[in-house]
Amino acid sequence: MDFERARYNMIEQQIRTWSVLDQDVLDLLSVVRREDFVPPAYRQMAFTDMEIPLTIGGRATGESMLAPKVEARILQELAVRRHESVLEIGAGSGHMAALLAHRGKHVDTLEIDADLSRFATENLARAGVSNATVRHADGADPSINLPNYDVIVLSGSVPVVPERLLAKLSAGGRLAAIVGELPVMQAQIVTRAQAGGSTSKVLFETVAKPLRGFPAKSGFRF
């Protein structure tokens, strides 16, 4: 397979046409080799417009890599700057962490699945990414000790934006999440205002596997 041709086609036909026009983001997709973060059985599918199953050592983890255009659009909208610290919930293969690390100062990425935690760590090391740290931990655990971050990325869906994570945003910080439940989910960017409170921007509709452990939206009971 001609990976360079496939990468070029992905960028030009899938990502650029999906309102990703930041040239720095487009160039980064050529630097961070997506195929190196895909499980070997799916390497030929690295550039397809789909979520890729994360099957590690023959075990289906039940998790997936987000589609390339979804990762790219979220990366563009977050506009991570070189001095900013980043938290990711759901390391998966480590690919999104690698992209974020190229933009920011440092990335802490939490992964609940032990096999995926090792897989992401190995992939990031092989790619030479030294400013991203994978931690085997449950990002939904309210007792986990986290500092404040400038950027938080949820690499999966949640029923509602977690207030606990919003509270970990520095003033002016941004949180990206895919919010909702099937069949309706929306990718959103929530920005914490300097004077307190937050504003939310809907980017697009999509679907993604839910992150484990985050509570369902409460509803009325009769």
Q: What is the pLDDT of residues 24-75, one digit of tens each?
A: 999 999 999 999 999 999 999 999 999 999 999 999 999 999 999 999 999 9
> 3-205: CATH homologous superfamily?
Vaccinia Virus protein VP39 (3.40.50.150)
Strands 106-111, 169-181: pairing kind? unpaired
Res 195: pLDDT: 76
The answer to which of 30-34, 109-113, 119-123, 218-222 has the lowest mean pLDDT is: 218-222
Q: Is residue 97 over pLDDT 90?
A: yes
Q: Is 106 helix (H, G, I), strand (E, B) or coil?
A: strand
Residue 93: what pLDDT?
98
Residue 219 has pLDDT above 60, yes or no: no
Structural contact between residues 51 and 64, judged by C-beta atoms closer than 8 angstroms: yes
CB 29 within 8 A of CB 9: no
Token representation of residue 69? 């255009």
Angstrom CA distances, 217 to 177, 180, 198, 204, stand at 15, 9, 20, 20
Residue 208 has pLDDT above 60, yes or no: yes
d(CA 133, CA 187): 25
DSSP state of 210: B
Q: Tell me: the pLDDT tens digits for 130-180? A: 999 999 999 999 999 999 999 999 999 999 999 999 999 999 999 999 999
Q: Which residue has the tokens 């496939």?
A: 6
Dist CA 74 CA 97 (whole Å): 12
- In tens, the pLDDT along 11-23 reads 999 999 999 999 9
Q: Give the residue extent of every domain in the chain.
A: 3-205
Contact 27, 78 (CB under 8 A): no
